[in-house]
Chains A and B, each alone.
Chain A
């Protein structure tokens, strides 16, 4: 105040006070804004930030449930989980890394790549994390480590479960396999249910029973800090193991059938007519599903794709074949069901058949013909001309109407995905494809040629219907689902697929007798397996043309390259009177049903009915002259 000149004190004070008031108002406004902001964050948005705070703090770590096991009817393991051991190091708990690595190197095999990879992680990852030093330890290495583990600090032996198919390729076509979840599947699956899960069923039962086998993911709620270090476990929800699946499949029978088919391409289905339970589900060649679990290398996959035998194709489920003469097993019954049909009326078979007004000859497989045959003879000897005439008499619509309830042209509903429909043709079916139905097509449908296509599974199921008093069951692979923990067991209920409408039950008995005579009379086409059978078999052989034989030419098996030879088929059930099993067999390019397919069915039946695994005697006897 001393060196300040006298000023207008009053004016200066008023000016200052005015300015102080202005700034006071600004301060109050800003404080008000701050208070509002605090109230917004801490009251209105509190729940939101509380959730974020929890999410920061608590990290749920998923725990994989063990996948359900798949076992055969006798408890033989077909799909299991086995532990894969991984050696992990937590760097911050290690005093001297070099000497530790040296010591571990004495217990397990550590190669250059392992060490290089580990050093890389060591540089890049936080020191409190588990770093993988070696994966896929052998059982022996894991055991050695487990013993010595307590001597080391910062060394962890982690076991993860991996899917394994102990029997390799056995039954791969119904079993399928799991593989790593791919991006597309990632989109489709329920994210919560698959958190932390690496594998998903890709094919076969592994895919169709995915939900059952999966189980429930468990969680550990772990408190973590901002660097991701786990501090403590707050809560643990144990995983629930996937349910175990018991199949109606008999692995020994499956193996027997696969071995009997051997290197040939083909399919065998054995099922219980009364329940639809599938006992053997064979498609050859098979392949080992185990490489698919971890991701098969492109070369091996390419080799499988390019294999001319097409092992990846599921012939039992997706193989669509002309049924050939096996269709006569069903059309024979159709004939009996025709009004005013006389099964005993002889029909002349000169070895060929022509439609009125046409010169085209539909040939019989037997040159010179069967002479005068009634229905019994026609079925037993598989006379084509008889069935040409029957087909013309029934017409395509009549045949379709009768065959449809047997399940032809439709999925059987077996518990696998992507089943093929087969084809039960009709003029409408062709019209839908902008094609005309020729009268000749009706004729050849009578002997199971032309557009009609069936799967081995359909054939077995249709044959089961004959065996089961005209009641067709839905084929099923799974017999029971068992909770791994409680052992609570849920049996699969047999499901009726269709009831075959029959005017007279005796017609079915007559036809079954005809089919029994196919196997057990010396004129029968399958006498080769029936002449020495201790039980009665009803069956029908079939031969499906792969290559059309031109008019005026004849088919010679020896002169035809293997891939163009006929497919051999056989459908059957046994024992007649109390059927326990129905079997369908297809051997691609196998030649005749009687010689290639029927003995396989006999072997399957012997195993089931006699408990025999020895080679069926049918093989010893040469094919009869009645070789279709």
Chain B
């Protein structure tokens, strides 16, 4: 089969397939041998690959043209979700379309970098200060709306995706340093606006033992799982931390802890290597891209994927606070897998259509 003809990047596709295969085994173990859950995961993967295949066929120019409209559609959905949340009293992330429960914030993971890439690519790079300000508003507004849901994890990824575009687009160092200074000054103010549970998670990061049965519990149990795995791991299906219910969210956000416990350092390094390979391949695609829109978008999508798995692994190993970010491709459930695969579809489209165009 000629993958090129299908507009698939060989390296990226192989890495994704390998990751998908591994994830089936890990989900099976982490869900305590729940065959239904494993099948559900397989179906999501198949759906994801289907979306990837479809997205890869479409030329990048199409995405560029439609970027603003996708962004506007995404914003409308976010507003709808927030409005429903107000009516439904409480956290609201989902939009129930009857046949599908749908999380609009997921769209923004793609729509925000697409929108910003489109906007910046319209004029010469580096962008002027005014355009930068507008770009910043374009990413900050959806991010704030997602925080309101509240979904700190997704907001972080959306904001990260936008930031990558701005950075790669050549945002001046002077501006970057100024913004960093402002963040440093504004941090205490932002702190006061965090939810108690969000603040507590940050406290916990610094001293998980302080409240071992409270907020520190997840971190401690997760570190126990990873640490007790040792060099070679306890073997597949032998994660006692997960199977005896000590590890919370073992098949979703903390699935890497199960993996690390069962497959040890060697397995963990292999998994990290596959993730790094995917990110590196994405960055290479960005490097090879020929115009500003595609290289900005490819770079941002690759780096957002990096942010994705790094934040998750960081929280599982106790070096980052607990934010609800699943491990891409691995974690069970949610619509994130579709978004991630769509992003890879776009990367492949950028890569394969460039070659064909040449």
* A pairs with B: yes
A7 to B224: give the CA distance in the assembly, Å.
55
Do A15 and B170 touch across chains, with their CB atoms under 8 A apart?
Answer: yes
Stretch from B16-24, B100-108, B143-151, B312-320 at the A interface: B312-320
CB distance from B69 to the nearest CB of A (A): 15
Q: Which residues of A contact B126 (CB under 8 A)?
A: 15
Do A50 and B227 touch across chains, with their CB atoms under 8 A apart?
Answer: yes
A430 to B318: give the CA distance in the assembly, Å.
73
B65 nearest in chain A by CB position = A3
Contact of A8 among B124, B164, B231 (CB under 8 A): B124
**Beyond A12-B292, A225-B245, is A19–B124 a contact (Cβ under 8 Å)?**
no
CB distance from A38 to the nearest CB of B (A): 5
Interface residues of B in 306-339 (CB under 8 A from A): 306, 310, 313-314, 317-319
Do B287 and A17 touch across chains, with their CB atoms under 8 A apart?
Answer: yes
Do B272 and A45 touch across chains, with their CB atoms under 8 A apart?
Answer: no
The answer, yes or no, to whether B158 is at the interface (CB within 8 Å) is: no
**Beyond A23-B303, A225-B245, is A41–B170 a contact (Cβ under 8 Å)?**
no
A236 to B317: give the CA distance in the assembly, Å.
35
Residue-wise, chain A 11-25 has the 8 Å CB interface mask toward B (1 for contact) of: 010011101100110
Contact of A4 among B121, B226, B240 (CB under 8 A): B121
Stretch from A27-35, A188-196, A520-528 at the B interface: A27-35
Q: Which residues of B contact A3 (CB under 8 A)?
A: 122
A38 to B225: give the CA distance in the assembly, Å.
12
Q: Which residues of B contact A156 (CB under 8 A)?
A: none
Stretch from B49-57, B199-207, B260-268, B340-348 at the A interface: B260-268
Do A24 and B283 touch across chains, with their CB atoms under 8 A apart?
Answer: yes
**Beyond A16-B295, A20-B168, A225-B246, is A56–B224 a contact (Cβ under 8 Å)?**
yes
The answer, yes or no, to whether B48 is at the interface (CB within 8 Å) is: no
A15 nearest in chain B by CB position = B170
Interface residues of B in 257-311 (CB under 8 A from A): 260, 264-265, 268-269, 272, 276, 279, 283, 286-287, 290-293, 295-296, 299, 303, 306, 310
Do B168 and A225 touch across chains, with their CB atoms under 8 A apart?
Answer: no
**Beyond A4-B121, A56-B244, A225-B246, is A41–B226 a contact (Cβ under 8 Å)?**
yes
The answer, yes or no, to whether B154 is at the interface (CB within 8 Å) is: no
The answer, yes or no, to whether B125 is at the interface (CB within 8 Å) is: yes
Do B291 and A4 touch across chains, with their CB atoms under 8 A apart?
Answer: yes
Q: Which residues of B contact A43 (CB under 8 A)?
A: 230-231, 265
The answer, yes or no, to whether B198 is at the interface (CB within 8 Å) is: no
A583 to B266: give the CA distance in the assembly, Å.
82
A20 to B292: give the CA distance in the assembly, Å.
13
**Beyond A38-B265, A39-B265, A49-B224, is A20–B245 a contact (Cβ under 8 Å)?**
no
The answer, yes or no, to whether B61 is at the interface (CB within 8 Å) is: yes
The answer, yes or no, to whether B229 is at the interface (CB within 8 Å) is: yes
A377 to B121: give the CA distance in the assembly, Å.
134
A368 to B184: give the CA distance in the assembly, Å.
111
Q: Which residues of A contact B125 (CB under 8 A)?
A: 7, 12, 15-16
Q: Which residues of B contact A4 (CB under 8 A)?
A: 121-122, 291-293
Q: Which residues of B contact A5 (CB under 8 A)?
A: 123
The answer, yes or no, to whether B31 is at the interface (CB within 8 Å) is: no
Do A227 and B268 touch across chains, with their CB atoms under 8 A apart?
Answer: no
CB distance from A350 to the nearest CB of B (A): 89
The answer, yes or no, to whether A57 is at the interface (CB within 8 Å) is: yes
The answer, yes or no, to whether A224 is at the interface (CB within 8 Å) is: yes
Do A46 and B244 touch across chains, with their CB atoms under 8 A apart?
Answer: no
Q: Which residues of B contact A1 (CB under 8 A)?
A: 61, 290-291
Do B244 and A224 touch across chains, with their CB atoms under 8 A apart?
Answer: yes
**Beyond A7-B124, A34-B314, A56-B241, is A20–B226 a contact (Cβ under 8 Å)?**
no
Do B260 and A42 touch across chains, with their CB atoms under 8 A apart?
Answer: yes
A576 to B134: give the CA distance in the assembly, Å.
120
Contact of A41 among B169, B227, B291 (CB under 8 A): B227
Contact of B224 among A16, A17, A34, A53 (CB under 8 A): A53
Q: Which residues of A contact B292 (CB under 8 A)?
A: 4, 7, 12, 16
**A interface majority secondary structure:** helix
Do B227 and A20 touch across chains, with their CB atoms under 8 A apart?
Answer: no
Q: Which residues of B contact A620 (CB under 8 A)?
A: none
Do B228 and A231 touch across chains, with their CB atoms under 8 A apart?
Answer: no
Do B124 and A38 touch across chains, with their CB atoms under 8 A apart?
Answer: no
Do B279 and A27 touch across chains, with their CB atoms under 8 A apart?
Answer: yes
A2 nearest in chain B by CB position = B61
Contact of B170 among A16, A39, A53 (CB under 8 A): A16
The answer, yes or no, to whether A263 is at the interface (CB within 8 Å) is: no
CB distance from B297 to the nearest CB of A (A): 12
CB distance from A29 to the nearest CB of B (A): 11
Do A35 and B230 touch across chains, with their CB atoms under 8 A apart?
Answer: no
The answer, yes or no, to whether B191 is at the interface (CB within 8 Å) is: no
B289 nearest in chain A by CB position = A16
Q: Which residues of B contact A37 (CB under 8 A)?
A: 314, 317-319
Contact of B228 among A16, A19, A38, A46 (CB under 8 A): A46
A50 to B226: give the CA distance in the assembly, Å.
9
A8 to B221: give the CA distance in the assembly, Å.
54
Do A42 and B265 touch across chains, with their CB atoms under 8 A apart?
Answer: yes
A39 to B225: give the CA distance in the assembly, Å.
14
A49 to B223: give the CA distance in the assembly, Å.
8
A5 to B169: give the CA distance in the assembly, Å.
16
B261 nearest in chain A by CB position = A53
Do A34 and B313 touch across chains, with their CB atoms under 8 A apart?
Answer: yes
The answer, yes or no, to whether B167 is at the interface (CB within 8 Å) is: yes
Residue-wise, chain A 299-314 has the 8 Å CB interface mask toward B (1 for contact) of: 0000000000000000
B246 nearest in chain A by CB position = A226
A38 to B313: give the CA distance in the assembly, Å.
9
A54 nearest in chain B by CB position = B228
Interface centre among A24, A35, A41 (most CB of B within 10 A): A41
Do A41 and B223 touch across chains, with their CB atoms under 8 A apart?
Answer: yes
CB distance from A9 to the nearest CB of B (A): 9
Contact of B167 among A17, A19, A225 (CB under 8 A): A19
Do B231 and A46 touch across chains, with their CB atoms under 8 A apart?
Answer: yes
A223 to B314: give the CA distance in the assembly, Å.
30
CB distance from A239 to the nearest CB of B (A): 27
The answer, yes or no, to whether A48 is at the interface (CB within 8 Å) is: yes
Do B231 and A42 touch across chains, with their CB atoms under 8 A apart?
Answer: yes
The answer, yes or no, to whether A52 is at the interface (CB within 8 Å) is: yes
A233 to B93: give the CA distance in the assembly, Å.
44
Interface centre among B224, B279, B287 (most CB of A within 10 A): B224
A8 to B124: give the CA distance in the assembly, Å.
7
Interface centre among A7, A48, A56, A227 (most CB of B within 10 A): A56
Interface residues of A in 82-112 (CB under 8 A from B): none
CB distance from B121 to the nearest CB of A (A): 6
Do B227 and A45 touch across chains, with their CB atoms under 8 A apart?
Answer: yes
CB distance from B114 to the nearest CB of A (A): 15
Do B283 and A34 touch across chains, with their CB atoms under 8 A apart?
Answer: no
Do B313 and A227 touch across chains, with their CB atoms under 8 A apart?
Answer: no
Q: Given contacts A56-B246, A225-B245, could you give 19 more A-B pairs where the C-beta distance is less than 8 Å?
A: A16-B295, A30-B310, A34-B272, A35-B269, A37-B314, A38-B226, A38-B265, A39-B265, A41-B318, A43-B230, A46-B229, A46-B230, A49-B228, A50-B227, A50-B228, A53-B225, A226-B244, A227-B245, A231-B244
The 5 listed contacts between A and B (C-beta, < 8 Å) are: A15-B170, A41-B226, A42-B230, A56-B244, A231-B244
Q: Can you list the 3 inter-chain pairs with the closest CB atoms, starting with the nearest?
A: A49-B227, A53-B228, A42-B265
